């Protein structure tokens, strides 16, 4: 091999090795993000990186085109198979240029479509809105069937036009997310612009945005497999780089140069691994601090919201009591002096206060109290889960060695006496 050619090959293999190293570290980083983030409940989704599991639902579901199933989103396609004669030019063994006819097989997409919009993810605590646009979306196969011209499906769902050289066979395929499909979603939560609630949608600063019917463990295992495979390919490229480099300097290639290349790759991988682990531990530590602040946010929400609701309800209750007392008095007067004497007053009261139902207001207050306490409990659980993930990381080998270098200390689990505020009293 010429020196210039060997140099070009060595540069290519070196660049490929570095690229595969980066791919491996990225896969390892994402696996750590998945493993270190606790799964939240729908009611406990707060602003920031979240993972949730639940069933996909929609108030006005779409009906898929082929399977005719209610879905939150779907896509379909129809492929028509063809066989065509093709003239090609070739050179025979005597150097003469000739032409021949060959039969080429293939297929074309002759029709496709689908619908996609936002949907709710539901679990036992409530709902959270999800905008799937821009996500790494995985769907389930809802319809897959081959049909010929004799099948009702062929023209019933497909177009009447045929492609050139059609074999009279079509493949009908459809995938989507049927209503009730269990999903795992990893993304970034933010406040909805229309109502006071959380939503999960694509954001540029999000680490990942995944929507998949697979569970968290399956996604994490996939990242782990990718981490190993990219490293193996990267190490082989590094070995090829060293062998080519030695060969260009008139050194016989063999296991020696290959081993040197693999060793250099492992050294680079070690530095990259330390960098990845450090950033991962910092991220988990920051998540613990965020989770602790979320408890205070929910406690402040309770302290601000509940007294105002109680005061409004107390005023409403007193007002209704006075109105009912007035009605009772007017009824008593009507019984003694005639209905016509008090009719204008009763009509005025009816027009001004057509519906007096204190029970609805009490039910609303009760719902707010229950939801508020659930939010506080979920915030506490999220904090404890984050602390557990963090403490496990900094105490587990080999991450513990990196944690010691930067003096990371274990965090304490939630203690009620340390963070608790006095619950708001409800009195009438």
Share of residues in the chain with pLDDT > 90 (%)? 41
Question: In terms of pLDDT, which residue wins out, 426 or 97?
Answer: 97
Question: Cα dihedral sign for 248, 250, 254, 257?
Answer: negative
Backbone angles phi, psi at 126, to 5 degrees: 155, -150
Q: Name residues whose C-beta falls within 8 Å of residue 56's C-beta, 6 or more positions apart in sequence.
A: 72, 119, 120, 121, 122, 130, 177, 179, 180, 181, 183
Q: 64-73, 95-104, 183-192, 274-283: which has the minimum mean pLDDT?
A: 95-104
100-114, 317-331, 391-405: least confidently modelled range:
317-331
Strand segments, DSSP code E, in 5-164 are 39-40, 48-57, 62-63, 70-91, 97-116, 119-123, 126-130, 136-137, 140-148
**What integer is the mean pLDDT of 373-381?**
76
- Cα-based torsion angle of the residue sequence 217, 218, 219, 225 in order, rounded to the nearest 10 degrees: 110
* Structure confidence at residue 318 as a pLDDT band (50, 70, 90): low
Kindly tell me the burial class for residue 274, based on how many C-beta atoms sit within 10 Å of its own C-beta (0-12, 13-18, 19 or more).
Answer: middle
State CA 280 to chain mean position distance: 20
Residue matched to tokens 């463990």: 217
Place 313 in a pLDDT band, splitting at 50, 70 and 90. Answer: low
Q: Name the DSSP letter for residue 98.
A: E
CA distances from 135 to 25, 91, 115 (A): 21, 50, 15
Distance of alpha carbon 421 from alpha carbon 374, whole angstroms: 15
Specify the pTM.
Answer: 0.74
Report residue 222 as tokens.
Answer: 């996939």
What is the chain's length? Answer: 428
17-72 pLDDT tens trace: 999 999 999 999 999 989 888 888 888 887 788 999 999 999 999 999 999 999 99
- CB-CB contact of 65 with 76 (8 Å): yes
Record the tokens describing residue 166, joined without a space.
């059609």
Question: To 5 degrees, how large is the angle CA 127–CA 129–CA 135?
Answer: 130
| Helical (H) or strand (E) element with 270 | helix 255-337
CB 149: neighbour CB atoms within 10 A? 12
Rounded mean pLDDT of the chain? 82
pLDDT, tens only, 350-368: 445 445 455 565 566 566 6
Phi, psi dihedral angles at 419 (to 5 degrees)? -120, -15
Q: Which DSSP category does 414 fall into?
A: P
CB of 366 within 8 A of CB of 360?
A: no
Categorize the per-residue pLDDT at 338 as very low, low, confident or very high, splitting at 50, 70 and 90.
Answer: low
Question: In the structure encoding, which two tokens stand for residue 220, read together?
Answer: 């994490």
**241 vs 220: which has the higher pLDDT:** 220
Separation of alpha carbons 70 and 47, rounded Å: 31
Residue 78 has pLDDT above 70, yes or no: yes
Query: How far apart (Å, rounded) are the C-alpha atoms in residues 284 and 277?
Result: 10
């Amino acid at each position: 091999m010429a020196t210039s050619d060997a140099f070009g090959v060595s540069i290519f293999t070196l660049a490929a090795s570095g690229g595969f190293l980066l791919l491996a570290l990225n896969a390892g980083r994402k696996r750590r993000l998945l493993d270190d983030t606790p799964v939240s409940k729908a009611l406990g989704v707060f602003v920031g990186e979240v993972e949730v599991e639940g069933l996909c639902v929609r108030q006005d579901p779409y009906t898929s085109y082929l399977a005719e199933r209610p879905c939150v989103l779907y896509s379909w396609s129809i492929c028509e198979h063809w066989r065509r004669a093709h003239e090609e030019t070739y050179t025979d063994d005597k150097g003469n240029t000739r032409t021949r006819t060959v039969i080429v097989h293939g297929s074309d997409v002759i029709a496709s479509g689908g619908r996609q919009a936002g949907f709710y993810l539901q679990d036992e605590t409530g709902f959270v809105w999800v905008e799937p646009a821009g996500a790494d979306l995985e769907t389930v196969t809802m319809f897959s069937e081959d049909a010929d011209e004799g099948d009702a499906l062929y023209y019933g769902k497909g177009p009447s036009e045929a492609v050139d050289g059609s074999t009279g066979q079509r493949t009908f395929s459809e995938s989507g997310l049927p209503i009730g499909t269990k999903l795992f979603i990893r993304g970034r939560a933010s406040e909805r612009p229309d109502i006071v609630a959380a939503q999960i949608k694509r954001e540029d600063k999000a680490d990942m945005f995944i929507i998949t019917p697979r569970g968290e463990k399956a996604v994490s295992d996939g990242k782990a497999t990718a981490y190993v495979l990219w490293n193996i390919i990267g190490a082989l490229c590094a070995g090829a780089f060293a062998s080519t480099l030695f060969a260009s300097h008139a050194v016989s290639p063999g296991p020696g140069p290959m081993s040197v290349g693999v060793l250099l790759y492992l050294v680079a991988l070690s530095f990259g691994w330390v960098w990845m682990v450090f950033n991962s531990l910092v991220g988990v530590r920051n998540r613990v601090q965020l989770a602790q602040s979320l408890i205070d946010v929910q406690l402040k929400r309770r302290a601000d919201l509940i007294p105002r609701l109680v005061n409004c309800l107390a005023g409403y209750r007193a007002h209704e009591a006075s109105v009912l007392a007035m009605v009772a008095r007017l009824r008593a007067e009507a019984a003694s002096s005639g209905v016509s004497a008090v009719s204008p007053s009763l009509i005025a009261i009816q027009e001004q206060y057509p519906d007096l139902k204190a029970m609805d207001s009490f039910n609303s207050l009760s719902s707010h109290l229950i939801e508020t306490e659930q939010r506080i409990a979920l915030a506490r659980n999220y904090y404890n889960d984050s602390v557990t993930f963090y403490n496990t990381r900094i105490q587990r080998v080999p991450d513990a060695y990196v944690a010691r270098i930067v003096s990371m200390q274990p965090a304490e689990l939630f203690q009620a006496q340390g963070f608790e505020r006095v619950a708001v009293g409800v009195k009438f």
